[in-house]
Amino acid sequence: MNIESRLAQIGSQEDPATGAVSYPIYHATAFRHPRLGQSTGFDYSRTKSPTRAILEAAAAELESGDRGFACSSGMAALQTIFALFSQGDHLIVSLDLYGGTYRLLERIMSRYGVTASYVDTNDMDALEAHCTPGTKAILIETPTNPLMMITDIEKAAAWAKRKGMLTIVDNTLLTPYLQRPIELGADIVIHSATKYLGGHNDVLAGLIVTKGQALSDEMAILHNSIGAVLGPQDSWLLMRGMKTLALRMERHEFNSVKLAEWLKVHPAVEEVYHPALPHHPGHDVQRRQSSGNTGIFSFRMKDARTVEPILRHLRLIAFAESLGGVESLLTYPAVQTHADIPEEIRRRVGVDDRLLRFSVGIEHIDDLIADLGQAIDAALQEIEEA
Ligand SMILES: *Cc1c(COP(=O)(O)O)cnc(C)c1O
């Protein structure tokens, strides 16, 4: 079945008792046992819960994995995955990574003796150079946020496999509609489902999908033991969002490519980072390993003084953190999403005070261009008058 159909039909045939097309929300935390030694398959909702189970099965199928796990946030999902590792273990992590993941590794995991190196995961020499006997896994974000660096998943996963390491891919930005890392050799996929999967800036959630029996069994133990699981109401809300994922991603891509092309030739803009643009260094790999582009991209203004007034003059586009929702949001990574990343690393990847990140929504493209255009014009005028 095509992924569009699978998405639209999540949970629609799972309740034979009533035929409900929208799967019910089961709030129960405890489940009656028919008799000693028997179970309906549900005992206690931290371990398994009916509404969450529908979501988890759908996630596993969409990502071509064996098992799905729904968590209370993307960070909870990452923490659950990191619990696979022990004192002395080392991870190789994408250089331009999500600030929260960096904070979790450096502030929390380091206390347990789990260390990380931040490298360009598309650079095979760099991977080789940072590999130690204790290196257990490689954690890849592709594209990265905000600089949209692309890693060749197949190449990196094959390298990791030869070394006996796990490959973990954060697939938040592209979603299984556009990119399925397990099909390219990854062992674990993680999502901040708060973003595109939920899609409406109204549910905080994370997903893990594992490939292979042993890894799936181990993750089930961690998921249940840590207990950062997603509640039934939020599981339902996430499934409701996922039903329209295919349509939303098509519009996100269309709008983001149009805006990137418009900004590329704007005289006040120095550079645009969008993998759909032919000059982008990851353009070919991204085309090969995914079936389209996300709605996220970044651009660097020529003059840092334009940033503050641009954000102030926006009317339709919101100045806000987060990404992946139907509403367009503009973020200033250096002071918002990436504030936890040390200046040295930020500078190395290029997150500076002239960089803005766009999470392009599904509004009409003409309205988005008009709003950003008037904000840039107003900013330039203020600078000229100052
Ligand atoms: C937002 C985000 C996370 C964290 O997810 P939360 O749902 O906010 O906890 C992890 N990775 C990426 C790429 C993200 O964008």
Q: Distances in Å between the alpha carbon of 261 and those of 275, 276, 338, 356, 374?
A: 11, 9, 25, 16, 17
Same domain, 212 and 265: no
SS (HEC) of 58-87: HHHHHCCCCEEEEECCHHHHHHHHHCCCCC
98 lines ligand 1 (CB under 6 A): yes
**What angle do helix axes 213-226 and 74-82 make, rounded to 10 degrees?**
120
Residue ending a domain, among 208, 243, 278, is 243
Quick check: CB of 198 below 6 Å from ligand 1?
Answer: no
Residue 220 and residue 307 in one domain: no
Is residue 50 domain-shared with residue 165, that is, in the same domain?
yes
Which residue's structure tokens are 């260390």? 115
Asked, for residue 81, whether it belongs to a domain, the answer is yes
Mutate to test the pocket of ligand 1, among 71, 73, 82, 98 (most ligand atoms within 8 A of CB): 98
Structurally, the chain folds into a number of domains equal to 2
Kindly tell me if the per-residue pLDDT of 337 is higher than 80: no
Instruction: Tell me which residue of 147, 162, 166 sits closest to 92, measured CA to CA.
Output: 166
- Indicate if the pLDDT at residue 339 is higher than 80: no
CA distances to 102, 250, 277 from 290, rounded to whole Å, are 25, 13, 15
Are 305 and 355 part of one and the same domain? yes
Let me know whether 148 and 211 are in one domain.
yes
Rounded mean pLDDT, 101-114: 96
Q: Could you tell which of 149, 168, 192 is best to mutate to test the pocket of ligand 1, judged by most ligand atoms within 8 Å of the CB?
A: 192
Residues 190 and 259 in one domain: no
Q: Which of left, alpha, beta for 206 (phi over 0: left; psi -120 to 50: alpha)? A: beta
- Measured between alpha carbons, how far is 347 from 96 in angstroms, rounded to an integer? 10
- Is 304 domain-assigned? yes
In 3D, which of 368, 371, 96 has the Cα closest to residue 252?
368
Ligand 1, atom nearest to 141 Cα: 13
**CATH number, domain with residue 24:** 3.40.640.10
Q: What is residue 115's three-state secondary structure?
A: strand
**Is residue 126 assigned to a domain?**
yes
pTM comes to 0.96
Q: Give the catalytic positions in this structure.
A: 46, 98, 170, 195
Give the mean pLDDT of 271-276.
Answer: 97
pLDDT surpasses 80 at 306: yes
- DSSP state at residue 34: S
Residue nearest to atom 6 of ligand 1 (CA): 74
pLDDT value, residue 348: 79
* Residue that has been written with the tokens 């999540």 in this structure: 10
Q: What is the pLDDT of residue 187?
A: 98
Residue at which a domain ends, from 193, 208, 243: 243
- Does any domain span residue 261? yes
Assigned domain for 385 exists: no
Spacing, Cα 249 to ligand 1 middle (Å) = 18
We report the CATH number of the domain holding residue 337 as 3.90.1150.10
Helices and strands (H, E) in the chain, number of each type: 14, 12
**Residue 170's closest CA among 193, 147, 154?**
193
Q: Is residue 345 situated within a structural domain?
A: yes
Residue 347 has pLDDT above 90, yes or no: no
Distance CA 116, CA 306 (A): 36
User: Mean pLDDT throughout 291-295?
Assistant: 97
Q: Is the model's pLDDT at 340 over the cut of 80?
A: no
The pLDDT, as a whole number, for residue 385 is 93
Average confidence (pLDDT) over 302-322: 96
Identify the domain boundary among 184, 216, 243.
Answer: 243
Same domain, 183 and 285: no
Which tens digits make up the pLDDT trace of 120-152? 999 999 999 999 999 999 999 999 999 999 999
376 in the same domain as 267: yes
Q: Decide whether any atom of ligand 1 lies within 6 Å of the 206 Cβ.
A: yes
Same domain, 238 and 329: no
Confidence of residue 386 (pLDDT cuts 50, 70, 90): confident
361-365 contacts, C-beta under 8 A, 24 or more apart: 361/252, 361/255, 361/295, 361/325, 361/326, 361/327, 361/328, 361/329, 362/248, 362/251, 362/252, 362/255, 362/326, 363/255, 363/316, 363/327, 363/328, 365/254, 365/255, 365/258, 365/259
79 lines ligand 1 (CB under 6 A): no
Report yes or no on 386 lying in a domain. no
List, for residues 179-219, the tens digit of each pLDDT value: 999 999 999 999 999 999 999 999 999 999 999 999 999 99
How many C-alpha atoms does 190 have within 13 Å on its Cβ side? 25
Give 19-59 pLDDT, tens digit per residue: 999 999 999 999 999 999 999 999 999 999 999 999 999 99
pLDDT digits (tens, 9 = 90+) for 70-89: 999 999 999 999 999 999 99
Q: What is the domain extent for residue 291? A: 245-380
